Amino acid sequence: MTAFKKIFFSLYMSVFLSSLGLGILSPILPSYVDQLAASSLILGVVFGAYPAARTLLMPLIGRLSDSMGWRPFIFAGLALFTAVSPLYALSHSAVQLMLVRFLQGIAAAMLLPVAMSVIGKLSPQGREGFVMGSFTSAFFAGLGFGPLIGGFLRDFYSINAAFYSMGILAFLALITSVFTLKSAPPDPIQVPAGPKVHNPWRIIRDAPLMGLLLFRFARAVGIGLVWVIMPLYAARDLGISAFQVGILLSANTFLTTIFQAPFGYLADRIGHVRSLTAGSFIAAASIASIGFSSSFWQLLAISVGLGLSGSMIVPSGSALAVSLGRTRGMGSVMGLFNSSLSFGTMIGPVAGGWLLDLNGVRTVFPAGAFLAMAGLVCLLVLYREVEISKV
């Protein structure tokens, strides 16, 4: 096995096991927090604490990983995941849960963007969509299986069993990484240097990067609504069980997991921007339909649409980030790329909770769909033709 394949496998398993733990929370945490929160807005704030930590720290950690090395951040992130997970079971107020979510966000800031930057540096030119799609499938595979496990543990054992199992999975990921991430990576692809992004103000002047970040942010708002407000709507308004909610979330992520590598391969040939455009239209239509659904089966059909759209968007967005990262600093770009995702998933639940309190569920999801399309427009306008021609 080559050095690249060893590193790919090690990081893939670390990301998979840690995201599996996060997926366990998806069908059970909204209802759990809802019992402790005074309003839907507080619910959104609690969920927003996790992406808030990621948003604040990922650009810094990405930049540091370019200069200090990536292994210490991978190990530290997994260790913190392990330590924080049991604290969910010990929390008895919305404030305590918010602090736990913030700490877990710090752990996540050290893991996925750093791992993506390593794989991005080593991806062969012209195959970025396929390689990044294959790698990020680890994250979605974990999120796909996790809700099924979480819903099962909640319905047949207890909610604390779900929390502790999350910690066990994070510990397994830590052990896996310690024993497998030993070999030095091969030399990354060498390309001419371009504008660096260490100075935050340079981002505003870097139109292609800014377009990609705005697109990523807008899509993330929709993700935040789907993963937080939809489970609450399904459980509270439609009476759907935790296990059924887990099926809804898993159907979405399973399809994204299965199809993003082949869709990434296709996008390498037809163009990543075209793939992002098609996926965005499907995603917007699916999100807008959630509030008009009245049964489990209707929500399941919507989850299928979201899964297919994600398999088009995720590898192509990552491929564009890799192309920009090669000339602007891979760790820095991946940090910003994932930070924009976290910022969107932080804003999504808070704004969704506010709209839910104000006007009800039927206004929440159309607003998310509109913002998703606005993000696509920003990408098409700012990601200049000279950049599109390269990818």
86, containing H or E segment: none
Would 21 be classed as within a structural domain?
yes
Would 198 be classed as within a structural domain?
yes
Please, what is the Cα angle at 243 between 241 and 244, to 5 degrees?
65
Tokens 């809802």 label which residue? 34
Would 98 be classed as within a structural domain?
yes
Could you write out the DSSP letters of every residue in 328-373? H-HHHHHHHHHHHHHHHHHHHHHHHHHHHHHH-HHHHHHHHHHHHH
pLDDT tens, N- to C-terminus, the chain (391 residues): 567 777 788 788 878 877 787 777 776 776 677 666 656 667 667 777 877 887 788 777 877 776 777 778 888 888 998 888 888 878 777 778 888 888 988 888 888 778 877 787 777 777 777 777 778 777 777 777 777 777 777 777 777 787 888 788 888 888 877 877 765 454 444 444 444 444 544 555 778 888 888 998 998 888 777 777 787 788 777 888 877 877 887 787 778 888 888 888 888 888 888 899 999 999 999 988 888 888 899 999 998 998 899 889 988 888 888 888 777 777 778 778 877 877 887 777 777 777 777 777 777 888 888 888 998 998 888 876 434 444 4
> Are residues 281 and 308 in contact, defined by beta-carbon separation less than 8 angstroms?
no
Please state the domain count of the chain.
1
Please give the model's pTM, rounded to 2 decimal places: 0.69
Would 186 be classed as within a structural domain?
no
Q: Which domain holds residue 236?
A: 3-181+194-388
CATH code for the domain in which residue 351 is found = 1.20.1250.20
Torsional sign, CA 294, 295, 296, 298? negative
